[in-house]
Amino acid sequence: MAFLFRLIQKCGLFTALVLLAVIVMLFPNDFRQIIKPVTSYSNDPLVVLVWNWPFLTNFTAGRDVCRDLYAIENCVLTCNKSMFDRASVVAFHHRELQINISDLPRGTRPPNQKWLWVSLESPSNTKRIRQLNGLFNWTMTYRKDSDIFIPYGSLMKRSQHTNVSIPKKSFLSTWVISNYQKKSRRAKVYFNLSKYMQIDIYGKSVKRYLAKKLLLPTISKYAFYLAFENSIHKDYITEKLWRNSFMAGSVPVVLGPPRVNYEEFVPSDSFIHVNDFPSEEKLAGFLKDLWQNRTRYEQYFNWRKHYTVKMHTDWTERFCTICTKFNSLPQSKIYDNLHDWFHK
């Protein structure tokens, strides 16, 4: 308002109106957002159809699951493909789609229906995405710039500072790896590091299987955890950091996107980055010194006075967030080149 008055004062009413009209024409979406009614007039529930439930696990909850579990009203979550014509959003999980790319809805697509592309895998592990160019209106991925952002984990500010308890440490460092490939960068970094320091390795592929319920208790006995991502991409920070390191109470040594990208999600003193060292020998030296100085080691736990860690693992919860985000998502959007968007 103040802006409008100043404009009128400066250049007269007519010029001010012309200027305003030009601004509205240049930024129509912003103005539509401002004048749009907050609540929808219709009482028909929003229908969200999940075309292929992730990992082919069966979705058994009732149609009101979002209300029952998360108090989200007026939203039906369903896997019933007969609801296609009534769905406002159809969500496609890429992992199943890439197995059979022709498993897409047939027939005409209702006007205004939004197709949502869903994936938590990195571009390196995403196949046949080019064939999906021009199909989707929205994306839901671990990337911050997705229409719906679904990180693997997040930090929540504590309402009040608390004392931190650090699990008792008995060993230096560990790595749990389900898919060990000798030629991968992370395996090479591990191999080089292991020449200079003790690293206990667990996982199916190295024949030291760790049962799920032993995962966190085992890691928590180690001072450091190698949180090495399977591939390096912007924002691709997975449960290797959130669960295996943070939930276990072990200090992460990360291999992934650059430090600045990690710092968009977690405090700079909550992790050690492989790239901060010119060689594995230097990194190993740093870790061993840190381990010898309890005061310095404990500084990597200071952030926990202010934050708690939340893991996000529940697909029902993720799909229900579509209901709450629906009204604030862009109304006319098309991913003409989903491949390039995801690989950029």
Ligand X SMILES: *[C@@H]1O[C@H](CO)[C@@H](O)[C@H](O)[C@H]1NC(C)=O
The residues of the shown chain that bind ligand X, judged by CB under 6 A, are: 57-58, 80, 82-83, 100, 102-103, 112, 134-135, 137, 162-163, 185, 188-189, 192, 280, 293, 295-296, 332-334
Q: Collect all residues with Cβ–Cβ distance below 8 Å to 310 and sequence separation of at least 6.
A: 153, 154, 155, 156
CB of 20 to ligand X, least distance (A): 27
Among candidate residues 96, 121, 239, 298, the one labeled active-site is 121
User: Taking CA 139 as the corner, what is the angle to CA 134 and CA 145, rounded to the nearest 5 degrees?
Assistant: 115
Closer by beta carbon to ligand X, 133 or else 220: 133
72, two tokens: 């989200």
- Residue listed under structure tokens 């939930």: 247
CB of 198 to ligand X, least distance (A): 18
Closer by beta carbon to ligand X, 170 or else 295: 295
Closer by beta carbon to ligand X, 33 or else 162: 162
Tell me, yes or no, if 121 is annotated catalytic. Answer: yes
For residue 224, give the nearest of 197, 245, 204, 247 by alpha carbon: 245
Contact 132, 100 (CB under 8 A): no
How far apart CA 118 and CA 135 sit, in angstroms, is: 13
CB of 331 to ligand X, least distance (A): 6
CB of 100 to ligand X, least distance (A): 4
How far apart CA 205 and CA 145 sit, in angstroms, is: 34
CB of 188 to ligand X, least distance (A): 4
Closer by beta carbon to ligand X, 100 or else 302: 100
Closer by beta carbon to ligand X, 163 or else 328: 163
- Give how far Cα 275 sits from Cα of 23, 48, 84, 264, Å: 46, 42, 48, 17
Q: Which residues are catalytic?
A: 121
